[in-house]
Each structure stands twice: as C-alpha cells, then as structure tokens.
Amino acid sequence: MNIKILGPGCKNCQKLYDMANEIVEELGIDAKIEKVTEFKDIASYGIMKTPGIVINEKVQVSGRVPSKKEVKELINKNL
C-alpha cells in the first residue's frame, strides 16, 4: 500500500502524516507513507486545498483533516 500526504508541511499536514503512521502501525500492515510537499506535485492530483490523503494513487480526502476513524476506514477499504 502506498499512502501520500499532500501538503506544504503545515501543522494539519503533519497531524495527518502522524495519524497515518500511527494507524498503519496499529493495523500491522505494510505501507509506504510519504509526504508530498511540492505544489506542482500536489496540483497534479487535482486538489487545491490541503491537507490531502492519497491511497494507492487515488485521492481520498482533501481540504481537511479527517478523523482517525475515517482514515482507518479508508486504509482498510484500500487494503
């Protein structure tokens, strides 16, 4: 599984990154989590508001920090 956190590095982006790492560890799954901070790379996903979360190259959420429960459900749905 490939998870990308889209954002310039603001506190909400970092919060989402930390949350994704925590959930992956809790679930015990093999996932690569990376930060995407370059605007052109973020824009290539078609989102204009950050933070965003992309799982397996599909945008799941953008423009807000989802709840931990929501992120966990998104990860489970994309396993």
Q: What letter does residue 48 receive in the DSSP assignment?
A: -
pLDDT tens, residue by residue, 15-44? 999 999 999 999 999 999 999 999 999 999
pLDDT band at 73 (very low <50, low <70, confident <90, very high): very high
Catalytic residues: 10, 13
CA–CA distance, 56 with 11 (Å, rounded to integer): 24
Out of 3.40.50.2300, 3.40.30.10, 3.40.50.10210, 3.40.190.10, the CATH code matching 2-77 is 3.40.30.10
**9 near 37, Cβ under 8 Å?**
yes
Question: Average pLDDT, stretch 33-60?
Answer: 97
- How high is the mean pLDDT of the chain? 97
Q: Which pLDDT score, from 0 to 100, does residue 8 have?
A: 95
Query: CA–CA separation, 48 vs 72, rounded Å?
Result: 24
pTM, to two decimals: 0.95
Q: Peptide bond before 51: cis, by omega within 30 degrees of 0?
A: yes
